């Protein structure tokens, strides 16, 4: 394809060349007729004489020889260090005495996978997958989160004041309104195809709590027209219990657990957890746990209905669930 600013297409070049070569037009006359320079008319006429119609096609702009290109031996050393040690361009450059930008260009030239796309233990590219429809696979996980003491934690008031707030009432536990804040809360999250998220803050991670959470999560999905077929969890004790198994079996849902010490398998919900922490839990300096908890429903609505997701081409999860309630609010 010709450059968008090129004065001649391949057909136009052929016409110029034939006027000069076959019909004997002077170069200046042909150049004026097709509104190009004399040198351009001469170039296409010469190529037509040498190669015929095939010479009218665009040629690669790649140079035939690059005297300043990194030597092949150095490129092989760069790739060897990357494969064996799984280092980034900066560390490889320091080891081999090169510029980091040079190392990066070599890695990009040979299409070496980014470190973020590799499993660090095996060095193999992580295989990405996505189910074809909502509900085929739902990821479930628990995120342990420290409570914010009344008056604010260290992120809001500094470490010394935050520590005083935590130790002021060491024996208090969360009441029904969430007004005391020593200890931890447990975020039970579900998040494959649509990335639709449902989350609750619960007091523990026991099997009864996890089973109750899933029953409410299943109602949430059913209300939005999603039939859950399979659930993927880690190997936490609550997910290995008979109660969890019976809860899923009764609903006709199959259960799958990740391989031990392989959190990448449950990577979608792990990424959701990170987003949750960055954009809600630690997004601003909350003055109390109650304040933070009150902000969660609004953030979940924004995440599901309005926040663009990179894996969905910039669209929110609601775009893959056409009948999701509240989609247009």
Q: Is residue 177 pLDDT above 80, yes or no?
A: no
**CB-based contacts of 141, cutoff 8 Å, min separation 6:** 188, 189, 190, 233, 234, 266, 269, 270, 273
User: What stretches of 35-99 show up as alpha helix (H) in DSSP?
Assistant: 38-51, 72-85, 89-96
Strands 184-190 and 198-202: antiparallel
Predicted pLDDT of residue 323: 62
Torsion of Cα atoms, 300 then 305 then 309 then 311, to 10°? 110
- What tokens were used for 158? 């500094």
Q: State the distance between the two ends of the chain, measured CA to CA, in whole angstroms.
A: 45
Q: What is the three-class DSSP state of 269? A: helix
Predicted pLDDT of residue 195: 84
The architecture that CATH gives domain 72-117 is Orthogonal Bundle (1.10)
**CA angle (239 as vertex; 233, 241 as ends), nearest 5:** 155
Tell me how far apart the alpha carbons of residues 70 and 230 are, in angstroms, rounded to a whole number.
51
Predicted pLDDT of residue 136: 87
User: Per-residue pLDDT tens for 2-21?
Assistant: 666 677 888 899 999 999 99
Tell me how far apart the alpha carbons of residues 212 and 231 are, in angstroms, rounded to a whole number.
15
Helix (H) or strand (E) holding 103: helix 100-109
Q: Is residue 178 pLDDT above 50, yes or no?
A: no
Q: 219 vs 328, which has greater pLDDT?
A: 219
Q: Is residue 169 pLDDT above 50, yes or no?
A: no
* pTM exceeding the 0.95 threshold for the entire prediction: no
Q: Is residue 172 pLDDT above 60, yes or no?
A: no
User: Per-residue pLDDT tens for 69-123?
Assistant: 899 999 999 999 998 988 999 999 999 999 999 999 999 999 888 877 666 666 6
Highest mean pLDDT among 67-71, 206-210, 316-320: 206-210
Interval 200-221 mean pLDDT? 92
Helix (H) or strand (E) holding 139: strand 138-146
Helix (H) or strand (E) holding 184: strand 184-190
Tell me how far apart the alpha carbons of residues 317 and 300 are, in angstroms, rounded to a whole number.
11
Model confidence band, residue 212 (pLDDT cutoffs 50, 70, 90): very high
Interval 159-163 mean pLDDT? 52
- What tokens were used for 168? 């002021």
The CATH fold of domain 138-320: Nucleotidyltransferase; domain 5 (3.30.420)
Q: 182 vs 103, which has greater pLDDT?
A: 103
Strands 254-257 and 230-233: parallel
Model confidence band, residue 166 (pLDDT cutoffs 50, 70, 90): low
- What tokens were used for 17? 């060349």
Tell me how far apart the alpha carbons of residues 79 and 81 are, in angstroms, rounded to a whole number.
6
Predicted pLDDT of residue 4: 62
Neighbour-count burial of 15, counting CB atoms closer than 10 A to its CB (0-12 exposed, 13-18 middle, 19+ buried) = middle
**CB-based contacts of 310, cutoff 8 Å, min separation 6:** none
Predicted pLDDT of residue 61: 83
User: What stretches of 171-326 show up as alpha helix (H) in DSSP?
Assistant: 207-223, 242-250, 267-276, 289-305
Q: Measure Cα distances from 10 to 3, 4, 49, 55, 262 in Å.
A: 11, 13, 15, 9, 55
**CB-based contacts of 31, cutoff 8 Å, min separation 6:** 37, 38, 40, 41
Interval 178-194 mean pLDDT? 64
Q: What is the three-class DSSP state of 256? A: strand
Q: What is the DSSP letter of 254?
A: E
Tell me how far apart the alpha carbons of residues 225 and 107 are, in angstroms, rounded to a whole number.
46
Tell me how far apart the alpha carbons of residues 12 and 124 are, in angstroms, rounded to a whole number.
50
């Amino acid at each position: 394809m010709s450059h968008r600013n090129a004065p001649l297409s391949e057909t136009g070049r052929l016409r110029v060349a034939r006027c000069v070569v076959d019909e004997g037009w002077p170069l200046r006359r042909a150049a004026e007729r097709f509104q190009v320079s004399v040198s351009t008319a001469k170039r296409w006429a010469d190529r037509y004489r040498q190669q015929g119609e095939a010479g009218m096609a665009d040629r690669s702009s790649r140079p035939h020889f690059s005297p300043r290109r990194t030597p092949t031996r150095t490129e092989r050393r760069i790739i060897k260090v990357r494969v064996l040690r799984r280092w980034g361009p900066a560390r490889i450059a320091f080891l081999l005495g090169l510029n980091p930008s040079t190392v990066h260009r070599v890695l990009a030239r040979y299409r070496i996978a980014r470190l973020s796309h590799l499993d660090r233990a095996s060095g193999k590219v992580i295989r990405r997958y996505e189910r074809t429809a909502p509900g085929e696979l739902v990821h479930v996980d628990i995120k342990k989160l420290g409570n914010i003491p009344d008056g604010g934690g260290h992120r809001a008031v500094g470490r010394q004041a935050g520590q005083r707030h935590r130790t002021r009432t060491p024996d208090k536990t969360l009441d029904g309104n969430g007004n005391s804040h020593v200890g931890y809360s447990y975020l039970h999250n579900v998040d494959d195809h649509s990335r639709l998220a449902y989350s609750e803050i619960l007091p523990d991670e026991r099997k009864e709590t996890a089973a109750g959470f899933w029953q409410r999560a299943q109602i949430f999905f059913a209300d939005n027209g999603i039939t859950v077929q399979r659930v993927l969890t880690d190997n936490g004790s609550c997910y290995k219990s008979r109660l969890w198994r019976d809860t899923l079996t009764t609903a006709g849902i199959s259960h799958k657990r990740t391989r031990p010490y392989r959190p990448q398998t449950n990577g979608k919900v792990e990424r959701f957890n990170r987003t949750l922490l960055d954009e809600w839990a630690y997004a601003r300096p909350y003055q109390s746990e109650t304040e933070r908890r009150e902000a969660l429903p609004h953030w979940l609505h924004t995440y599901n209905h309005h926040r663009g997701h990179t894996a969905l081409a910039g669209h929110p999860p609601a775009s893959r669930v056409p009948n999701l309630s509240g989609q247009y609010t």
